[in-house]
A and B are shown apart, each in its own frame.
Chain A
Amino acid sequence: MPDRNDAIPDDHDPLRNIQPTDSDHLDYVGQQGMAVEQETLIEPDPVKREQARSLWGDAWRDLRRRPIFLISAVLILLLVLIAIFPGLFTSTDPRAADLTNNYLRRPDWSDFFGAGWFGYDGQGRSIYARVIYGARASITVGICVTLAVTLLGGLAGMTAGYFGGWIDAVISRITDIFFGIPLLLGALVLLNAFATRNVWSVVIALAFLGWTQLARVMRGSVITVKQSDYVVAGRALGAGTGRLMFRHILPNAIAPVIVVATIALGGYITAEATLSFLGIGLQDPTISWGVDISSAQKVIRQAPFALFFPAAALSITVLAFIMLGDAVRDALDPKLR
Chain B
Amino acid sequence: MGHYVLRRVLQMIPVFLGATLLIFLMVYSLPGDPIAAMFGDKAADPATVANLRHQYYLDQPLWKQYLHYMNNIFHLDFGTSFTGRPVSEIMADAFPVTIRLALVAFFFEIVIGLPLGLIAGLKRGSVADTVVLLLTLVVISIPVFVLGYIAQTVFAINLGWVTATVQDSRDISQLILPGLVLASLSLAYVARLTRTSIGENLRADYMRTAVAKGLPRRTVIGRHLLRNSLIPVVTFLGTDLGALMGGAIVTEGIFNIAGVGNVLYKAINQKEGPTVVGIVTVLVLVYLVASLVVDLLYAVLDPRIRYA
Bound-complex Cα distance A311 to B146 (A): 7
Within 8 Å of chain A (Cβ to Cβ): is B91? Answer: no
Please encode chain B, from 248 to 273, with 1 for each CB lying within 8 Å of some chain A CB and 0 for all others.
01100100000000001100110100
Bound-complex Cα distance A34 to B27 (A): 29
B140, B157, B290 pick with most chain A CB within 10 angstroms: B140
Residues on the B chain within 8 Å of A318, using CB:
140-143
Count of A-B residue pairs with CB < 8 Å: 174
Within 8 Å of chain A (Cβ to Cβ): is B236? Answer: yes
Segment of A24-32, A118-126, A147-155 in the binding face: A24-32
Residues on the B chain within 8 Å of A177, using CB:
14-15, 18-19, 22
Tell me the smallest distance from the CB of B87 to a CB of chain A, in Å: 16
Closest to B261 in A: A185
Tell me the smallest distance from the CB of B20 to a CB of chain A, in Å: 9
Please encode chain B, from 2 to 35, with 1 for each CB lying within 8 Å of some chain A CB and 0 for all others.
0010001001001110110011001100111000
Tell me the smallest distance from the CB of B128 to a CB of chain A, in Å: 18
- Among B8, B235, B247, contact of A27 (Cβ-Cβ < 8 Å): B8
Please tell me if the beta carbons of B140 and A322 are within 8 angstroms of each other in the complex: yes
Please encode chain B, from 278 to 308, with 1 for each CB lying within 8 Å of some chain A CB and 0 for all others.
0010011001101111110010001011111
Within 8 Å of chain B (Cβ to Cβ): is A99? Answer: no
Q: Is the interface of A mostly helix, strand, loop or mixed?
A: helix
Within 8 Å of chain A (Cβ to Cβ): is B90? Answer: no
Interface residues of B in 139-163 (CB under 8 A from A): 140-146, 149, 153, 157
B185, B192, B232, B247 pick with most chain A CB within 10 angstroms: B232
Please encode chain A, from 269 to 296, with 1 for each CB lying within 8 Å of some chain B CB and 0 for all others.
0100110011010000000000001000
Segment of A3-11, A85-93, A107-115 in the binding face: A3-11
Segment of B40-48, B171-179, B193-201 in the binding face: B193-201
Please tell me if the beta carbons of B26 and A4 are within 8 angstroms of each other in the complex: no
Within 8 Å of chain A (Cβ to Cβ): is B276? Answer: yes
Please tell me if the beta carbons of A182 and B247 are within 8 angstroms of each other in the complex: yes
Closest to B185 in A: A1
Please tell me if the beta carbons of A180 and B231 are within 8 angstroms of each other in the complex: no
Please tell me if the beta carbons of B196 and A30 are within 8 angstroms of each other in the complex: no
Please tell me if the beta carbons of A188 and B137 are within 8 angstroms of each other in the complex: no
Closest to B270 in A: A192
- Among A174, A266, A311, contact of B18 (Cβ-Cβ < 8 Å): A174
Please tell me if the beta carbons of A18 and B19 are within 8 angstroms of each other in the complex: no
Please tell me if the beta carbons of B292 and A30 are within 8 angstroms of each other in the complex: yes
Please tell me if the beta carbons of A29 and B23 are within 8 angstroms of each other in the complex: no
* 15 A-B contact pairs sorted by A residue (CB < 8 Å): A4-B186, A8-B193, A9-B196, A14-B231, A14-B305, A29-B298, A30-B291, A186-B23, A186-B26, A193-B30, A274-B144, A280-B268, A307-B146, A315-B143, A319-B138
